Structure 1
Amino acid sequence: MTTTLTTTLTAPKARFSSPGLERGLLLFPLPVLLLVFYVLPFLGVVGWSFSLPTPGIEQYQRIATDPAIHEMLWRTLRLCLTVSGLALIIGYLLAYCWVFSPPFWQRVVEICIFIPFWISVLVRAFGWLIALRSNGVLNNGLMGMGLIDQPLQLSRNEIGVVIGMLHVMIPYAVFPLLSTMRQLDQRVLMASRGLGAGALRTFWQVLLPQTLPGILGAFIMVFVFCLGFFITPVLLGGGQTVMIAEYVFLQMFQTSNWGLGAALSVVLLALVSALIWVLLKMTRVNRLVG
C-alpha cells in the first residue's frame, strides 16, 4: 500500500517534469518577445504604409513610378552587388589561406579578420573618412610617392562608400566560406593532384564546386547586411550617395512622410525575406555555420 501511494504521488510530478515540457517552457519567452517587439511593430509599419497620409496604396504607386526613388533603389542595388562581389572574392582568398596555409599565416589571417571585426562600425567609418579625405593619409602618401599630382576624390562619393562597407563586410563573407572549406575532405584534393590535375584544374573542378553552398551563403549574407547599411553611407557618402536606409530615415524624420518611409521599409523587408528564403532553400544552414 505504501508503494502504491508513493507511485500515485510521484506520477504527476514525473508527468509535469518531462523534457519536452521543460524545453517548451524555456523556449516560450522567445516567440512572445518576437511577437511583442517585432511582429506587432512591423504590423504597425504596414498599417502606416496604407493609411498615411490618406488610406490607399498611393505610397506603393509612388515607389513604382517615382524616378527619384528608382534612382535611389538602383544605386542601393548597385552598391550592394559591388560590395558583395568584392567581399566574396577577398573573403574566399582569406578563407583559403586560413584553411590551407601554414600555422603562422593562419594566425596572421585571424588577426586581420578579428581585430577589425571587434571595432565599432562607427569608429571604422570615421577612420576611413579621415584616411580618404583630400588631405588624408592615402592621398598624402600617393602624392608623396609622386604617383598623383593632386588629391583624389575618395570620399563623399560611391568609392568611399564601397571601401567603408567592404571593410565591414569581409568577415561576414569569410565565416561561411571558412566553415564550408573546413568540412571538405582534403584527401579529395590530394587525389586530384595525384591523378595528374594541376592546381588550377583542381580548384575549378574539385574545390570550387564543393564550396558553392558557402559561396552562395556568403554572397546572400553580405548582400542582406548591405541593404540595411546606414552609418557608413551617411558618413562616407556625405549626402551624395543616399541608400535605402538613409532614404527611409530622411522621409520619416526630416520630411515627415511616414507613409512613404513605411512603404519602403515593407519593400525592403520583403526583399530580405525572399533572399533568406532562397538561402534556406538552396543551402544547408549547418554547412554555413559548421
Structure 2
Amino acid sequence: MTSIKSKLGQVALIAPLPLFLAAVYLLPFLGVVEWSVTLPEPGLQQYERVFTDPTVLGVLWRTLRICCIVTLLTVVAAYAISYVWVCGSRLQATIVEFGVLIPFWISTLTRAFGWLALLYNRGIVNSTLMSLGIIDFPLMLVRNEFGVIVGMTHFLIPFAVLPLVSSMRHLDHRVLMAARGMGASRARTFCTVFMPMTAPGIVGAAVITFVFSLGFFITPAILGGGRSVMIAEFIYVQTFQTVNWGLTGALSVVIVVAAALLIVLFLRGRRAKTLVG
C-alpha cells in the first residue's frame, strides 16, 4: 500500500510537466498537422508540393546546405574553445568562460545587427580594408549565404561548447598519461585518444547545432537580406504574406519530424554505446 502511494505521489509530481508540454506544444502542433491536410482542401497535396515544387525544394536544399556548413564550422570552433577552457591555464579558462557565457545575455536581434554593422558595404570591415588600400571596392559580406553562415555560427558556438566541455571534463586523464608514457606524441595522443573519447560530445554538439539551425529566422532574414531565404523565413512569408497555411503546415510538420528523428537517432546511439561500453 505504501509503495502504491509512493508511486502515485511520484506521478503527481511529474504529471504537471508533460501536461504543460502537451498543452503548449502538442496541441498547437496537432493544429498545424490539421492545416497541412485540410487547407485549402482535404488531402495530401501540400506534402506532395513540398517534395515536388522547385521553389520549395530550392529553399529546403539551401537550408540543408547552410545548416550542414554551420554545423561543421560551429563544432570545429567550439571544440577548440572547449579544449582551451578545459585544458588551458586558469586565466585562459576564465577568459573563455566569460566569452561563452556573455553571449547568452545578448539577444539574437542585437547580435545580428552587430554583424550587419561589421560586414555591411560601408561597415567596419569594408571601411577598414578600403582605408588600408587592401581593396578598392566593398566586399559583399552580407545579403548572401556568407553573412548568414557567419551570423549563425557565431550565435550557435556557445550552445555547442557546453556538451563538448562536459564530455572533456568527464574524460579519464590517466588514459592520456598512459598514452604519453608509452611514447605517443601530443598530436597522436590527441588524435587517437582524446578525440575518440570525446566523440559523444562532438555528436551531441552537432545534433544540437543542426536542430537549432533548422529553425533560424532572425539572423538569415537580417544578414541574408531576402536573398538567402531559409525554411523558417519561407514559412513566415507563406503564412503572413501569401496566406498559404496548408503549405506552411506541411513544411512545419516535415521540419519537426526531421528534427525529432535526428534526436531519436542520437539518443538511441548513446543508449547503444552505453550498453556496449
TM-score, normalised to structure 1, is 0.90
Aligned residues of 1:63 and 1:70 also touching (Cα < 8 A) = yes
Pick from 60, 80, 83 the counterpart of residue 67 of structure 2.
80
Pick from 192, 207, 213 the counterpart of residue 200 of structure 2.
213
Deviation string 1:154-213 (CA, Å, 9 cap, x unpaired) is 111111101110111001111111000000011111111111101111011101110111
Instruction: Using the TM superposition, give the Cα deviation of residue 220 of structure 1 relative to its aligned residue in structure 2, in angstroms.
Output: 0.7
Deviation string 1:93-150 (CA, Å, 9 cap, x unpaired) is 0000011111011111112111122211111011111111111111112222322221
User: Which amino acid is the alignment partner of residue 278 of structure 1?
Assistant: L
Aligned residues of 1:48 and 1:258 also touching (Cα < 8 A) = yes
SS at match of 1:45: helix
Looking at structure 2, the residues matched to 165 and 15 of structure 1 have their Cα atoms a distance apart, in angstroms, of 50
Looking at structure 2, the residues matched to 232 and 49 of structure 1 have their Cα atoms a distance apart, in angstroms, of 27
Pick from 139, 150, 153 the counterpart of residue 152 of structure 1.
139
Tell me what 1:4 maps to: none
Looking at structure 2, the residues matched to 48 and 15 of structure 1 have their Cα atoms a distance apart, in angstroms, of 45
User: Which amino acid is the alignment partner of residue 157 of structure 1?
Assistant: N
Tell me what 2:162 maps to: 175
| Equivalences, count | 273
Aligned residues of 1:217 and 1:283 also touching (Cα < 8 A) = no
Tell me what 1:6 maps to: none
Looking at structure 1, the residues matched to 166 and 265 of structure 2 have their Cα atoms a distance apart, in angstroms, of 19
Aligned residue runs from structure 1 range 1-290, under 5 A: 18-283=5-270
SS at match of 1:148: coil
Tell me what 1:8 maps to: none
SS at match of 1:126: helix
User: Which amino acid is the alignment partner of residue 171 of structure 2?
Assistant: L
Distance 1:34 1:117, change over 3 A: closer
TM-score, normalised to structure 2, is 0.94
